[in-house]
Amino acid sequence: VDHELDYPKSPSAMDWSFHYPQYFSYPDQAEPLPGQNTKKVEWADVGCGFGGLLMALAPMFPETLMLGMEIRMSVTKYVTDRIAATRQSQSLAGEGEKQPGEYQNVSVIRANAMKHITNFFDKGQLSKIFFLFPDPHFKNRKQKARIITPGLLAEYAYVLRPGGILYTVTDVKDLHEWMALHLNNHPLFIPIPNSELADDPILEAARTATEEGKKVERNKGDKWVACFRRAEDPVD
């Protein structure tokens, strides 16, 4: 419920230093260190679960700040601890100065992405947004609870920059058809043929690196992929 959820009034009110201490100065820090306060979060994994995608992508793209958004408190805490432990073991393994590849570029936040995504991100801030194995909400009367709905697509289009990519993967065919239908119908999302992303290591991670994706693999289930490019804003 909302009163337990912490979210900034607007993206500029968000203090990211807790999440990415190497990249953001603390509010009471006199001077930013070199390289601090120059980056923004660019990739969001919505409903990140146990964080498998983020842990796979973080060392592959050490210069890109990425964030998981997860509504369950215990799961968010698990991912927070997982990142902290990995950061610590990486920096113990390395010598002296912190180097990229130490998971400094990844974090997780407890949030209801369906309600508050625009509290965290400015217009056009994100270049990638992931919806991987989202909860299916099978019954018709529960479809409005789905994480992709016509109304919410306007919010996702707002935070995604033109040219940015929205990824969906699911093992539920009905949900795949629903997500693809609404994305196809939205003027700001252009379908990307799966063949175009066949060699994309990011899509490969999106399909295989999450905990849910691994479970589907073990059970030899199907995976349905639909990716969309954010269109240019219409000129008025």
* 69, 83, 152, 165: which one binds ligand SAM (CB under 6 A): 69
Please, what sign has the CA dihedral across residues 16, 89, 128, 37?
positive
Q: Is 212 annotated as a binding residue?
A: yes
Quote the least distance from Cβ 219 to ligand SAM, whole Å.
14
Our CA dihedral for 18, 20, 23, 28, rounded to 10 degrees, sits at 0
Quote the least distance from Cβ 68 to ligand SAM, whole Å.
9
Is 27 exposed, middle or buried, given 0-12, 13-18 or 19+ CB atoms closer than 10 A?
exposed
Catalytic: which of 2, 45, 122, 135?
135
Contacting range for ligand SAM; rule: CB under 6 A; set: 9-17, 45-53, 99-107, 172-180? 45-53
Q: Is 132 annotated as a binding residue?
A: yes
Quote the least distance from Cβ 19 to ligand SAM, whole Å.
16
Residues 192, 168: contact at Cβ < 8 Å?
no
Using DSSP's 3-state secondary structure scheme, residue 119 falls into helix
* 5, 56, 71, 231: which one binds ligand SAM (CB under 6 A): 71
Contacting range for ligand SAM; rule: CB under 6 A; set: 31-39, 55-63, 133-141, 148-156? 133-141
- Please confirm, yes or no, whether 199 is among the known catalytic residues: no
Residues 179, 26: contact at Cβ < 8 Å?
no
For residue 112, how many other CB atoms are within 10 A of its CB? 15
Quote the least distance from Cβ 22 to ligand SAM, whole Å.
25
* Measured CA distances, 152 to 10, 73, 170 (Å): 18, 23, 18
What residues make contact with ligand SAM under the rule CB under 6 A? 47-49, 52, 69-72, 75, 112-114, 132-135, 147, 210-213
Known catalytic residues are: 135
